[in-house]
């Protein structure tokens, strides 16, 4: 019973087994009753034949009494034997019930007794020659026939009772089967069909992301257990889905915030990389916007001093005063916050300390403070690492630009000093010697006619020195006003073409951004000096300038159809070729002067450009030396007083 209460399958199986059992019992009972009723018809017929046989015996006795004879006696004896055989026949005996107290059994006994005690003695007496008494025979006949009719009636009633019993059993089993079917259908409807409908509705609602529907099934069977399990699953799915939606919303908000932060960093990169020495003015607005977006702050940037081996604060957002090492007191980028804060005033109890480095070169540190109860997410830490890399790139570029400017300035000063020494200084030294010579001549009283050659040399030397000064001034005042070397070359060719009174051919084949400004100036100066020599000394009617980049080297060729060169040495008091060779050495190249086969001069400068595109150099160096670092590995917990944990 416990199994039936807790198992729908067991109840359905029990119902099917009960229906099958009742059908089987009904079939067996029917077959048993049918088998038991199989001889009833034969018994009734046999009993009916006894009645006919009785009439035949009485008729034969009467005939024998009227006409005695052997044949008549034999006929009576035959009919009597037949009666006894039929009375004791198996058909009639098998139809009798086994119980001795059964009415049919008692009536059969009375029939046998009446035959043996009444009719059989009369038959024996008559056949023995004793005669027949008609009245007694008629009374015996009537009694015997009545007994036979009673037996037939009881046999018919016995057969009908079996049929009624079979009908009653069929009705009983049919009623029991109907009851079992009704119970099974009720159980199936309330414990199978309706729970399945609830489960289907739950599945349909779950498919439409409605996890609030519940089956609320009661009971202990399989579907009730399944319904409670589905209810719990729907509740868990609803909670999980709600949590996932919340996580998706948070992730979406983080992505939007990260995108805005990346946009801020992208927009600030132009000012950051092009800010020159004013790192505060370019970085402070970007840092304050990042603080608002990422809900962090304040942020403090410190640069490493290699000489004193210390960290120097350069920039701090939410600052109430100017940084101690501020280089531009006209800049107020760090003082624009309407509500300045100090680190002690913030609720931040910890900070992320990020290295500002390029490869293995440590440039400084970036302190990012955040509330103790709201640590930054991993995406924010990745953005902060990108910010540290961006600041490192800006600081690195700034230092490289400053170094490059210093190197360029020193190179230019060296060139100016060397050109002044090789040209104007020597001319002035020569003039000084001539003045000393003139003073000695005047001290000795040399007549004016003897001093005239010295005055001529002084005049020639002054003219040469003045001319050299003008050339140097023209050279030193030269600057690139156009967008690149090609534009400056076109202006130079046009200028000297007017002076030569004939157009100068120009061919330029250079990749963009190949040369740095220093290299462009040296190339332009070599071209200008060569064209100046063509205008002054070559007596040329044609000139051409070609600048091309081939096989990783730059080829600068200046040709003319003039008088050519006696040799590749500079004439006295002329230092143009010397300066051109110095420029070639500065570029790390080679300057070649030769005469053309068609006539004229060919000047060729060949060198390998050493570009100073600092961003490319920084990216290449970083890709060779930098290794992936977990952002959390760079985070060092610091308390609100600045002590590292």
Look at residue 613 and tell me whether its pLDDT is greater than 70: no
159 and 283 housed in the same domain = no
Q: What is the CATH number of the domain that holds 299?
A: 3.30.450.40
Question: Domains in the chain: how many in total?
Answer: 3
Bridge partner residues of 559 (DSSP):
544, 602
Residues 61-70 have a mean pLDDT of 76
What residues have CB less than 8 Å from 199, skipping those under 6 apart? Answer: 215, 223, 226, 227, 230
178 and 42, same structural domain? yes
Q: Given a cut of 70, is residue 629 above it in pLDDT?
A: no
Task: Kindly give the residue spans of alpha helices, DSSP state H, lying in 189-274.
Answer: 194-207, 222-273
* DSSP category for residue 644: B
Task: Determine what percent of the chain is predicted with pLDDT higher than 90.
Answer: 6
Q: What is the pLDDT of residue 644?
A: 36
Residue 301 belongs to a domain: yes
Residues pairing with 352 in the sheet: 368
8 A C-beta contact, residue 377 and residue 254: yes
- Domain shared by 176 and 289, yes or no: no
Which tokens is 192 given? 């199978």
* Per-residue CA distances from 385 to 388, 472, 614, 637 (Å): 5, 51, 21, 16
Sequence-distant (≥ 6) Cβ neighbours of residue 571 within 8 angstroms: none
Decide: 338 and 403 in contact? Cβ < 8 Å.
Answer: no
3-state SS string over 456-469? Answer: HHHHHHHHHHHHHH
Query: Which one has a higher pLDDT value, 90 or 557?
Result: 557
Is pLDDT at 404 greater than 60 in this prediction? yes
Do 298 and 154 lie in a common domain?
A: no
In a domain, 280, yes or no: yes
Q: Pick 495 or 5 by higher pLDDT.
A: 495
Average pLDDT for residues 245-274, to the nearest whole number?
Answer: 83
Query: For position 439, what pLDDT does the model report?
Result: 85
Q: Is the residue at 628 inside a domain?
A: no
Q: What angle do CA 525, 529, 535 make, to 5 degrees?
A: 140
Top-confidence residue, 95 or 557:
557
pLDDT above 70 (res 14):
yes
Q: Phi and psi dihedrals of 602, rounded to 5?
A: -125, 120
DSSP 291-333: HHHHT---EEEEEEETTTTEEEEEEETT-SS--TT-S-TT--G
Q: Of 48-62, 469-483, 509-523, give the lowest mean pLDDT range.
A: 469-483
CA distance 374 to 377: 9
Sheet holding 348-358, edge to edge: 310-316, 299-305, 361-371, 348-358
Residue 569 lies inside a defined structural domain of this protein: yes
Question: Both 56 and 150 in a single domain?
Answer: yes
Last residue of a domain, one of 361, 379, 404: 404
506 shares its domain with 383: no
**Helices H, strands E: what count in the chain?**
19, 9
Q: What is the CATH number of the domain that holds 107?
A: 1.20.120.1730
Residue 553 lies in a domain: yes
With a CB cutoff of 8 Å and minimum separation 6, the contacts of 480 are 487, 488, 517, 520, 521, 524
Domain hosting residue 537, numbered range = 480-612
Specify the range with the lowest mean pLDDT, choosing from 165-179, 351-365, 478-492: 478-492
CATH code where residue 518 lies: 3.30.565.10
Query: Among residues 162, 178, 197, which one ends one of the domains?
Result: 197
Question: How far is it, in rounded angstroms, from Cα 623 to Cα 627?
Answer: 8
352 & 498 share domain: no
Residue 449: HSE in the Cβ half-sphere, 13 Å Cα cutoff: 0
The mean pLDDT of 40-55, rounded to a whole number, is 78
Q: Say if residue 266 is in the same domain as residue 181.
A: no
Residue 549 · residue 514 · CB < 8 Å: yes
pLDDT-based confidence at 631, cuts 50/70/90?
A: very low
544 belongs to a structural domain? yes
| pLDDT score of 555 | 94
- What percent of the chain has a predicted confidence (pLDDT) above 70? 82
Residues in Cβ contact with 419 at an 8 Å cutoff, skipping those fewer than 6 apart: 472, 475, 575, 579, 582
Q: Give a yes or no: residue 229 inside a domain.
A: no
Out of 197, 213, 234, pick the residue that ends a domain. 197
Write out pLDDT tens, residues 545-585: 999 998 888 999 999 999 888 765 544 445 577 778 888 88
How far CA 637 is from CA of 147, 543, 634, in Å, comes to 125, 71, 10
pLDDT score of 437 more than 50: yes
Residue 49 has pLDDT above 50, yes or no: yes
Instruction: Write down the mean pLDDT value for the chain.
Output: 78
| Nearest residue to 559 (alpha-carbon basis) of 517, 514, 515, 527 | 527
Confidence (pLDDT) at 433: 85
Query: Is 13 found in the same domain as 156?
Result: yes
Alpha-carbon gap, residue 61 to 70, rounded angstroms: 12
Q: Which residues of 520-529 are buried (b: 16+ CB within 10 A; e: fewer)?
A: bbbbbbbbbb
Q: How many residues does the chain have?
A: 645
Q: Is 3 left (phi over 0), alpha (psi -120 to 50) or beta?
A: alpha
Specify if 589 maps to a domain.
yes
Assess whether pLDDT exceeds 80 at residue 278.
no
| Domain match, 274 and 141 both | no
263 and 175 both lie in a single domain: no
The verdict on 148 and 267 lying in the same domain is no
- 281, 333 in Cβ contact below 8 A? yes
pLDDT band for position 612 (50/70/90)? very low
Peptide bond between residue 298 and the one before it cis (omega within 30 degrees of 0):
yes
pLDDT of residue 606 exceeding 90, the answer is yes
Could you count the other beta carbons within 10 Å of the beta carbon of residue 615? 12
Q: Is the per-residue pLDDT at 504 higher than 80? A: yes
β-bridge mates for residue 303, sequence order:
312, 364
């Amino acid at each position: 019973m416990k199994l039936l209460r807790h198992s729908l399958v067991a109840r359905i199986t029990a119902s099917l087994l009960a229906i099958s059992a009742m059908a089987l019992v009904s079939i067996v009972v029917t077959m048993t009753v049918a088998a038991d009723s199989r001889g009833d018809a034969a018994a009734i017929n046999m009993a009916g034949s006894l009645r006919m046989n009785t009439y035949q015996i009485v008729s034969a006795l009467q005939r024998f009494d009227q006409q005695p004879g052997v044949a008549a006696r034999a006929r009576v004896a035959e009919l009597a034997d037949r009666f006894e055989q039929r009375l004791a026949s198996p058909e009639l005996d098998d139809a009798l019930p086994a119980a001795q107290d059964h009415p049919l059994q008692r009536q059969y006994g009375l029939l046998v007794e009446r035959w043996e005690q009444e009719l059989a003695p009369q038959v024996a007496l008559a056949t023995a020659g004793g005669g027949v008494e008609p009245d007694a025979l008629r009374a015996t006949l009537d009694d015997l026939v009545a007994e036979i009719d009673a037996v037939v009636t009881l046999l018919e009633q016995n057969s009908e009772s079996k049929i009624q019993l079979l009908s009653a059993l069929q009705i009983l089993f049919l009623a029991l089967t109907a009851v079992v079917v009704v119970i099974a259908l009720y159980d199936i409807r309330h414990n199978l069909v309706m729970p399945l409908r609830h489960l289907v509705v739950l599945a349909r609602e779950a498919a439409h992301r409605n996890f609030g529907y519940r089956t609320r099934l009661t009971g202990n069977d399989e579907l009730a257990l399944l319904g409670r399990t589905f209810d719990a699953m729907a509740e868990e799915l609803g909670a999980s889905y709600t949590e996932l939606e919340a996580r998706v919303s948070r992730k979406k908000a983080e992505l939007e915030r990260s995108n805005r932060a990346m946009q801020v960093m992208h927009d600030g990169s132009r000012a950051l990389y092009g800010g020159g020495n004013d790192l505060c003015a370019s970085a402070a607005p970007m840092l304050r916007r990042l603080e608002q977006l990422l809900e962090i702050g304040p942020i403090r940037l410190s640069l490493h001093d290699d000489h004193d081996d210390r960290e120097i604060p350069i920039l701090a957002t939410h600052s109430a005063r100017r940084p101690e090492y501020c280089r531009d007191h006209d800049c107020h980028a760090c003082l624009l916050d309407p509500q300045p804060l100090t680190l002690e005033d913030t609720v931040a109890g910890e900070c992320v300390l990020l290295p500002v480095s390029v490869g293995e070169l440590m440039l400084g540190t970036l302190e990012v403070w955040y509330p103790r109860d709201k640590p930054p997410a991993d995406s924010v830490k990745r953005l902060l690492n990108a910010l540290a890399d961006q600041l490192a790139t800006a600081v690195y570029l700034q230092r490289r630009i400053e170094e490059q400017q210093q190197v360029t300035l020193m190179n230019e000063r060296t060139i100016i000093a060397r050109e002044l020494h090789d040209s104007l200084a020597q001319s002035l030294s020569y003039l000084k010697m001539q003045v000393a010579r003139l003073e000695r001549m005047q001290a000795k009283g040399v007549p004016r006619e003897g001093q005239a050659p010295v005055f001529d040399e002084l005049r020639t030397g002054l003219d040469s020195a003045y001319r050299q000064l003008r050339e140097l001034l023209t050279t030193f005042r030269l600057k690139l006003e156009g967008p690149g070397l090609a534009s400056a070359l076109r202006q130079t060719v046009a200028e000297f073409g007017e002076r030569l009174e004939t157009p100068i051919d120009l061919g330029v084949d250079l990749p963009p951004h190949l040369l740095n400004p220093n290299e462009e100036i040296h190339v332009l100066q070599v071209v200008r000096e060569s064209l100046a020599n063509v205008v002054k000394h070559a007596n040329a009617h044609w000139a051409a300038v070609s600048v091309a980049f081939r096989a990783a080297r730059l080829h600068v060729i200046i040709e003319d159809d003039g008088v050519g060169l006696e040799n590749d040495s500079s004439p006295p008091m002329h230092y143009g070729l010397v300066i051109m060779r110095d420029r070639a050495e500065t570029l790390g190249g080679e300057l070649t002067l030769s005469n053309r086969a068609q006539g004229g001069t060919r000047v060729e400068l060949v060198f390998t450009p050493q570009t100073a595109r600092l961003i490319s150099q920084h990216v290449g160096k970083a890709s060779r030396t930098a290794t992936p670092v977990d952002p959390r590995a760079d985070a060092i917990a610091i308390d609100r007083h600045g002590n590292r944990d």
